[in-house]
Amino acid sequence: MANEYGAEQIQVLEGIEHVRKRPGMYIGSTGPRGLHHLVYEVVDNSVDEALAGYCKNIQVTINPDGSVSVADDGRGIPTDVHPRTGKSALETVLTVLGAGGKFGGGGYKVSGGLHGVGVSVVNALSQWLEATVWREGKTHVQRFERGVPTAPMEAKAGAGSKTGTSITFFPDEAIFTTGIEFDYSTLAGRLRELAFLNGGVKIIFTDNRLELLKVEEPHVETYYYEGGIREYVAYINADKQPLHEEVIYVQGERNNVQVEVALQWCSDAYTDNLFGFANNIRTIDGGTHLEGLKAVLTRTMNAIARKRNKLKENESNLAGENIREGLTGVISVKVPEPEFEGQTKTKLGNTEVRGIVDSLVGEVLTEYLEFRPNVADSILEKAIQAFKAAEAARLAREQVRRKSVLESSTLPGKLADCSSRDPSESEIFIVEGDSAGGSAKQGRDRRFQAILPLRGKILNIEKTDDFKIYKNTEIQALITALGLGIKGEEFDASNLRYHRIIIMTDADVDGAHIRTLLLTFFYRYQREMVDQGYVYIACPPLYKVERGRNHYYCYSDRERDQRVASFGENAKVEIQRFKGLGEMMPQQLWDTTMNPESRTLKQVEIEDAAEADRIFTILMGDRVAPRREFIEANAPKLALADLDI
């Protein structure tokens, strides 16, 4: 019988097979993020070996064929026969899920890597993988294809005293359907981050894809930071003006939890910039280590302010966001048994960490500032200024709120809202000018799409204090329409009125500028919203190509040229260049840019938060010199013919 249903029909997915069937469970996605995660998973093993004190150099290489090699000079994965599997420990580590020195303690005190799924998952999702281990005077080699060994491990003498492991793998195109090409800058950002977080470890990153890069020499970068996270803070603040030259540094260990904190305040920044890491993973959603740090900063600075008579008895305490204004801080904790929470597993949940951070940082910071009263004074003066500006901003906000209550409608008048009240299905298009707004309002699906037209260019909030921000009508409209709350307060996604916030600007220089100003606003005003993936960029077409009764939309010059070439040489073709969204008919705008079935949206993601922060400071900040240097350094890379000037 065809519809029999017994024990034989129940699928039991064994290890490797399960990974290949459900890769998302192990690496998050089968898109670019999951692809790059494979490299991180192998590198994390080498970093763990470095943290245990056995490895000093890690080499990451993208090979000409697109495969990746990760080699270290650690102890080498054990190669003796594993008592439970009867196979070599190397083969066991590469083929059995949850095998490795990280589980059950003993092998490593602390280990990085988010899922600890280890290198067996990389093996399962690779077309082929080759492992080489130098250990006990021998070179051990084994090759795998789609997770299955092609032959038992081979051992040859002659390795001398060399120790270490090298893993080379080629991702499986059957799994990573969006492509298996590694992006240099994505990997470089993470490797640089790892080198900062593990001071003294040298990571050499080489790209040997000469044909792809159209260069004659391989691209090589070395990341080596003796000062660890102190150098990280200095790197982020390179183009800002620090209030105190020396980066404040705290390091300690309690109950096997290692804590490292580096802090530096800057006079020309108006937001705080805290990066939290747990076991080398960036905790985007925060966690107990960041809560502990914020609490201890607030308590310590208020105590010092009272002691130094900066705050009088009858004055209220400075708020946490006042004290953190202009602060760049990195906190890195290493926890033996980490508990990660939240949808993306990027929030540290271990409750004991809060108290450990609080007490360790409290002691060291108090002592540091008591010996350096001038540093304490300059930080406090900035905090008190921030407190006064916040008070002025609060009064401005109250006026705005009162005014809107009198006018009976709290939402901005020019917002064309959608009928749905469910934020998870609603989206808002932020468009420039009324003509584009008119087309968008007519072309949208009223049920779930809202339109907010903005007049002109919004304020660049990178160089503006809070008082001016709240006075600005365009920014007021944005804050109330989106339900953003108040700058500096914890981000609460439940207050967001739309879960897709889409920037839709013209495909010209002004459009790009407005888009940059909006991204600066979102990044500085409510960065959590960007981190959690609520911000998108619409991709309107550049050209409409007509041939006879058929028409095609093209989103780039290359696509236009390919489309025209496909018609043959003498074909009669009409090409229309869209200068602005206002030129499009509402139906065209719906078909190309707004219809969820046919549009292209780019989700704004921040892979390398420190680098993003540095670029925002250079390009949007007050100081001209770093911006000029940036332009001079990058100008040769531009193809002038492609510029819209």
Mean pLDDT by 10 residues, the chain (645 residues): 45 66 81 90 88 90 96 89 80 76 54 62 94 92 92 87 94 91 92 93 94 86 94 93 93 93 91 90 89 95 92 87 93 89 77 94 93 93 88 70 46 85 92 85 93 85 75 83 76 86 87 87 86 91 88 87 86 86 88 91 81 82 83 77 61
Predicted confidence (pLDDT) per residue in 102-129, tens digit:
544 455 666 665 444 578 889 999 999 9
The residue extents of the domains of the chain are 15-224, 229-385, 411-540+578-606
Phi, psi of 11 (to 5 degrees): -85, 125
d(CA 112, CA 103): 12
Angle at 529 between CA 526 and CA 530, to 5 degrees: 100
- Tell me what pLDDT residue 405 has: 39
CB contact set of 26 (below 8 Å; sequence gap of 6+): 19, 115, 117, 121
CA dist., res. 554 & res. 562, Å (int): 10
- The total of other beta-carbon atoms located within 10 Å of residue 129's CB is 25
432 is in an annotated binding site: yes
The amino acid occupying position 231 is E
CA-CA distance, 331 to 290, in Å (whole number)? 7
Query: Quick check: 547 and 571 in contact, CB under 8 A?
Result: yes
Burial class (CB in 10 A: 0-12, 13-18, 19+), 128: middle
Cα separation, 271 vs 528, in Å, equals 13
Ranges of beta strands (E only) in 289-434 are 327-334, 340-341, 347-348, 427-432
The residues annotated with a catalytic role in the active site are 432, 506, 508, 510
CB 330 within 8 A of CB 230: no
Taking the alpha carbons at both ends of the chain, their separation in whole angstroms is 72
- How many Å separate Cα 150 from the centre of its chain? 38
Is domain 411-540+578-606 annotated with CATH 3.40.50.670?
A: yes
For residue 77, which of 95, 61, 63 has the smallest C-alpha distance? 95
Q: Would you mind telling me the total number of residues written for the chain in this entry?
A: 645
Q: What is the pLDDT of residue 7?
A: 46
Average pLDDT, the chain: 85
508 marked as binding residue = yes
350-to-334, 339, 341 alpha-carbon distances in Å: 11, 6, 9
Strand intervals (E) in 87-173:
126-135, 138-145, 148-149, 154-157, 164-171
Handedness of CA 546, 547, 551, 555 (dihedral sign): negative
Q: What is the pLDDT of residue 215?
A: 83
Phi–psi pair at 416, nearest 5 degrees: -95, 100
**Could you give the CA distance from residue 86 to residue 96 in angstroms, rounded to a whole number?**
12
Torsion of Cα atoms, 352 then 356 then 358 then 364, to 10°? 180
Within 10 angstroms of residue 597's Cβ, the number of other Cβ atoms is 5
Query: Could you tell me the pTM of the whole model?
Result: 0.71
Torsion (CA) 417, 420, 422, 423 in degrees, nearest 10: -30
Place of tokens 């420990």: 89
Residues near 552 by beta carbon (within 8 Å), at least 6 away in sequence: 544, 545, 546, 563
The answer to whether the beta carbons of residues 563 and 545 sit under 8 Å apart is yes
- pLDDT at residue 111, as a whole number: 62
Q: Token digits for 534?
A: 């609520």
Pairing label, strands 219-224, 202-207: antiparallel
| Helices (H), ranges, 52-162 | 89-95, 119-124
CA gap 470, 392 in Å, rounded: 10
The pair of structure tokens assigned to 297 is 């900063």
Q: Regarding beta strands 138-145 and 148-149, do their DSSP bridges make them parallel or antiparallel, or are they unpaired?
A: antiparallel
Q: Could you report the per-residue pLDDT of 152-191, keeping only the tens digit for each? A: 899 998 888 899 999 999 999 999 988 999 999 999 999 9
Query: Which residue has tokens 């002659």?
Result: 158
- Return the pLDDT at 83: 78
Cα dist. 622→240, 254, 269, 272, 575 in Å?
9, 42, 9, 17, 42
Residues 6+ apart with CB under 8 A from 312: none
Q: How far apart are CA 192 and CA 206, in angstroms?
A: 13
d(CA 627, CA 77) in angstroms, rounded, equals 47
Alpha carbon 568 to its chain's center: 44
The amino acid occupying position 179 is G
CATH of 229-385, one of 3.30.230.10, 3.50.50.60, 3.40.630.30, 3.40.50.300: 3.30.230.10
Query: Distance between alpha carbon 393 and the CA centroid of its chain, in Å?
Result: 30
512-568: pLDDT as tens digits = 888 888 988 888 888 888 888 899 999 898 888 998 888 888 888 888 988 898 888
Instruction: Report yes or no: 68 and 39 within 8 Å, Cβ to Cβ.
Output: yes
* Residue 185 burial (CB count, 10 A): 9
At the top level of CATH, which class does the domain 15-224 belong to? Answer: alpha beta
> In angstroms, rounded to a whole number, what is the distance separating the alpha carbons of residues 140 and 153?
7
